[in-house]
Amino acid sequence: MSEDLREMLTDAAVREGDVVTGEVTAVDDHGVTVALPHGYEGHISPQELSAVPGTHPSDVVSVGSTVTAQVLKVDMESGHVTLSKRRAEQASAWERMQQLLESGEPIEVEIRDVVKGGLVADVGVRAFIPASLVDRHFVENLEQFKGQKLRAKVIEVDPQKNKLILSRRAVLEEESEARARKLFEELKPGDVIEGTVQRLTDFGAFVDVGGADGLVHISELSFSHVNHPSEVVREGDRVKVRVLRVDPEAGRISLSIKAALPEPWETYAHEFQPGDVVQGVVRRVVDFGAFVELRPGLEGLVHVSQISNEHVDKPSDVLQPGQEVTVRVLSVDPERKRISLSMRDSSQPRGGQGRGGRRDRRPTEPRNEGASGPTLGDLFGDLFK
Which DSSP symbol is given to 271?
Answer: G
- Band of residue 74 on the pLDDT scale cut at 50, 70, 90: confident
Buried b (16+ CB within 10 A) or exposed e, 110-141: ebbbbeeebbbbbbbbbbbbebebbeeeeeee
Residues in the chain: 385
Residue 306: predicted pLDDT = 92
Range in 29-43, 277-291, 347-361 the model is least confident about: 347-361
- 283-294 mean pLDDT: 91
Residue 347: predicted pLDDT = 52
Burial class (CB in 10 A: 0-12, 13-18, 19+), 148: exposed
Q: Is the pLDDT of residue 163 over 80?
A: yes
- Band of residue 357 on the pLDDT scale cut at 50, 70, 90: very low
Whole-number Å distance between alpha carbons of 252 and 173:
17
- 233-249 mean pLDDT: 93
Average pLDDT, rounded, for the chain: 84
Q: Which amino acid does the sequence have at 192?
A: V
**Highest mean pLDDT out of 87-91, 171-175, 343-347:** 171-175
Distances (CA, A) of 137 to 133, 179, 214, 230: 9, 17, 17, 21
**371 or 118, greater pLDDT:** 118
Residue 70: predicted pLDDT = 86
Residue 230: predicted pLDDT = 93
Range in 92-106, 258-272, 299-313 the model is least confident about: 258-272
**128 or 358, greater pLDDT:** 128
What pTM was computed for the model? Answer: 0.54
Burial class (CB in 10 A: 0-12, 13-18, 19+), 19: middle
Q: Distance between terminal CA atoms of the chain?
A: 124
For 204, other C-beta atoms within 10 Å of its C-beta total 22
Alpha-carbon Rg for the chain in angstroms? 39
Buried b (16+ CB within 10 A) or exposed e, 232-249: bbeeeeebebbbbebeee
Residue 362: predicted pLDDT = 38
**Among candidates 260, 335, 276, 272, which has minimal Cα distance to 299?**
272
Range in 82-91, 187-196, 248-257 the model is least confident about: 82-91
Whole-number Å distance between alpha carbons of 185 and 165:
35
Which DSSP symbol is given to 364?
Answer: P
- 221-244 mean pLDDT: 91
Strand bridging mode 192-201 / 204-208: antiparallel
Burial class (CB in 10 A: 0-12, 13-18, 19+), 310: exposed
- 290-302 mean pLDDT: 89
Sign of the CA dihedral with 234 first, then 237, 242, and 247 last: positive
Complete domains list, the chain, with CATH? 18-86 (2.40.50.140), 104-171 (2.40.50.140), 187-260 (2.40.50.140), 264-342 (2.40.50.140)
Residue 237: predicted pLDDT = 93
Residue 164: predicted pLDDT = 95
User: What distance separates the 2 farthest-apart alpha carbons in the chain?
Assistant: 141
- 6-30 mean pLDDT: 76
Q: Is the pLDDT of residue 351 over 60?
A: no
